[in-house]
């Protein structure tokens, strides 16, 4: 599948990759390209660079998608009338709070949870929370937003795909035997649990003090009755990710470690029976369209350097040799990058591998996003 078809046919596009490879930019490029092709597109970004956020009209964290005025993204008025572009910057905490409000049985229950110190730590710090909330936001936009295509950026960590087992993670937290026993005030179960619980409490209290325990117990009590809603929601998110109209795009740079991470992500997706639809490689070096091999270019440089030359020709000759060396360096780098990536693409099983050349300037404005888009979309 080409990138054109991917953005024409997908309802959800998830962009994954390690930090520093241009994932957020690529997400914005894909959403803009989709809008240009007449789709109502939204991009969910995570921590964009400030100037990109400004371009997308994201002055602050937003819980809701905001449409970007048409004259800002299509100043020459050439996009089809159906094309629309919206953006939002993920606010993990606000999204989690929203989820608590949605599933709480009463406003009081929600307030009790939101005020709990343990909850505040989970909402901000539990490994995978940000990832999970990105997916929650995705599901909300899918349910309520009326968008044709939703492009989601993922956090730049190795754990970026933790949302795949977020249901299991959250359930494990909620199902934790020790904490369940703490929640149930019945004498019988307390006696049953007494050994494990007491050992645990003693240990924890010894290490961090008993206040922390009180917070945890209060949280689990407050959360009672809400687990089911959370669990169902998590299952729905996974169904959406597994839908045939959902595409996974891996973003990488040609750096070996970044490619290694891309393969790690691909493996992770495969474990969850999901497949990679495209591999987008940013910042590949140019080969300047030469037919000669780096070996031939270097041989030529040596030949020029070794020539018997007349006085006055030395400097020009050295410069020419250096030009050949320089070209050989780039050609060799470009070939190496393309070979490595073609092999990685095969291993990953990506339907399409697309290259975006290394650009002289960081990509911030609409014109630059469009310029990158032209490398991705025919």
- 283's tokens: 């910042």
Cβ-based nearer residue to another protein, 73 or 118: 118
Cβ-based nearer residue to another protein, 5 or 323: 323
Cβ-based nearer residue to another protein, 77 or 312: 312
CB-based burial, 98-108: b 16+ in 10 Å, e otherwise: bbbeebbeeee
Least Å from the CB of residue 289 to another protein: 6
Cβ-based nearer residue to another protein, 203 or 245: 203
How far apart are the C-alpha atoms of 365 and 53, rounded to whole Å? 10
Least Å from the CB of residue 285 to another protein: 9
Nearest to 154 by CA among 292, 25, 16: 16
As a whole number of Å, the end-to-end CA separation of the chain is: 12
Cβ-based nearer residue to another protein, 94 or 333: 333
Cβ-based nearer residue to another protein, 322 or 342: 322
Least Å from the CB of residue 98 to another protein: 20
Cβ-based nearer residue to another protein, 76 or 291: 291
Cβ-based nearer residue to another protein, 132 or 147: 132
Least Å from the CB of residue 332 to another protein: 7
| Contacts with another protein, residue ranges (CB under 8 A) | 18-21, 47, 49-50, 118, 121-122, 124-126, 156-158, 172-173, 176-179, 196, 199-200, 203-209, 211-212, 215-216, 253, 255-258, 260, 286, 288-290, 292, 297, 304, 309-310, 313, 315-317, 319-320, 322-324, 326-327, 329-330, 332-333, 336, 360-362
Q: Are 7 and 83 in contact (CB under 8 A)?
A: no
Least Å from the CB of residue 331 to another protein: 8
Least Å from the CB of residue 60 to another protein: 17
How far apart are the C-alpha atoms of 80 and 235, rounded to whole Å? 36
Those residues whose C-beta lies under 8 Å from the C-beta of residue 368, and which sit 6 or more positions away, are: 359, 361
Least Å from the CB of residue 6 to another protein: 25
Cβ-based nearer residue to another protein, 59 or 239: 59
Burial class (CB in 10 A: 0-12, 13-18, 19+), 49: middle
Q: E strands, the chain, where?
A: 12-16, 40-45, 66-67, 84-89, 149-153, 246-252, 278-284, 352-357
Least Å from the CB of residue 126 to another protein: 5
Q: Which residues pair with 14 in a beta bridge?
A: 152, 248
Whose structure tokens read 């050992």? 199
Least Å from the CB of residue 303 to another protein: 10
Q: Which phi and psi angles does 365 have, rounded to 5°?
A: -100, 170
Least Å from the CB of residue 178 to another protein: 5
CA 28, 364, 352, 166 dihedral sign is negative
Q: Are 205 and 216 in contact (CB under 8 A)?
A: no
Q: How far is CA 125 from CA 80, 92, 129, 130, 250, in A?
A: 43, 10, 7, 8, 25
Helices (H), 74-209: 92-103, 107-115, 117-125, 129-144, 166-175, 177-183, 187-208
Nearest to 115 by CA among 31, 188, 222, 192: 222
Cβ-based nearer residue to another protein, 1 or 333: 333
Kindly state the DSSP code that residue 233 receives in the 8-state scheme: H
Whose structure tokens read 């009180």? 214
């Amino acid at each position: 599948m080409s990138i054109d078809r991917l953005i024409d046919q997908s309802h959800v596009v998830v962009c994954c990759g390690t930090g520093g490879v241009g994932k957020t930019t690529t997400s914005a490029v894909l959403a803009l390209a989709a809008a240009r092709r007449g789709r109502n597109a939204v991009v969910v970004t995570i921590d964009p660079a400030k100037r990109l956020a400004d371009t997308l009209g994201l002055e602050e964290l937003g819980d809701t998608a905001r449409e970007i005025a048409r004259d800002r993204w299509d100043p020459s008025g050439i996009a089809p009338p159906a094309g629309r572009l919206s953006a939002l910057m993920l606010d993990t905490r606000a999204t989690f709070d929203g989820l608590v409000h949605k599933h709480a049985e009463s406003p009081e229950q929600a307030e009790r949870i939101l005020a709990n110190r343990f909850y505040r730590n989970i909402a901000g710090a539990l490994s995978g929370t940000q990832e999970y909330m990105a997916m929650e936001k995705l599901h909300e936009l899918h349910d309520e937003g009326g968008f044709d295509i939703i492009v989601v950026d993922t956090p730049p960590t190795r754990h970026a795909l933790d949302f795949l087992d977020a249901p299991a993670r959250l359930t494990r937290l909620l199902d934790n035997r020790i904490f369940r026993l703490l929640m149930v005030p019945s004498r019988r179960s307390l006696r049953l649990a007494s050994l494990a619980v007491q050992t645990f409490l003693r240990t924890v209290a010894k290490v961090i003090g008993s206040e922390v325990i009180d917070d945890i117990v209060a949280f689990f009590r407050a959360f009672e009755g809400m687990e089911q809603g959370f669990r169902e929601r998590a299952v729905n998110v996974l169904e959406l990710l597994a839908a045939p109209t959902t595409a996974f795009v891996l973003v990488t740079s040609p750096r070996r470690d970044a490619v290694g991470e891309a393969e790690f992500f691909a493996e992770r997706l495969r474990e969850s029976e999901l497949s990679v639809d495209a591999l987008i490689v940013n910042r590949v070096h140019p080969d300047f369209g030469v037919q000669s091999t780096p070996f031939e270019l270097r041989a030529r440089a040596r030949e020029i350097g070794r020539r018997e030359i007349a006085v006055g020709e030395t400097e020009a000759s050295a410069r020419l040799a250096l030009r050949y060396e320089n070209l050989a360096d780039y050609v060799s780098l470009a070939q190496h990058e393309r070979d490595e990536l073609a092999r990685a693409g095969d291993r990953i099983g990506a339907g399409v591998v697309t290259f975006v050349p290394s650009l002289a300037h960081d990509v911030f404005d609409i014109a630059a996003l469009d310029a990158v888009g032209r490398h991705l979309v025919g």
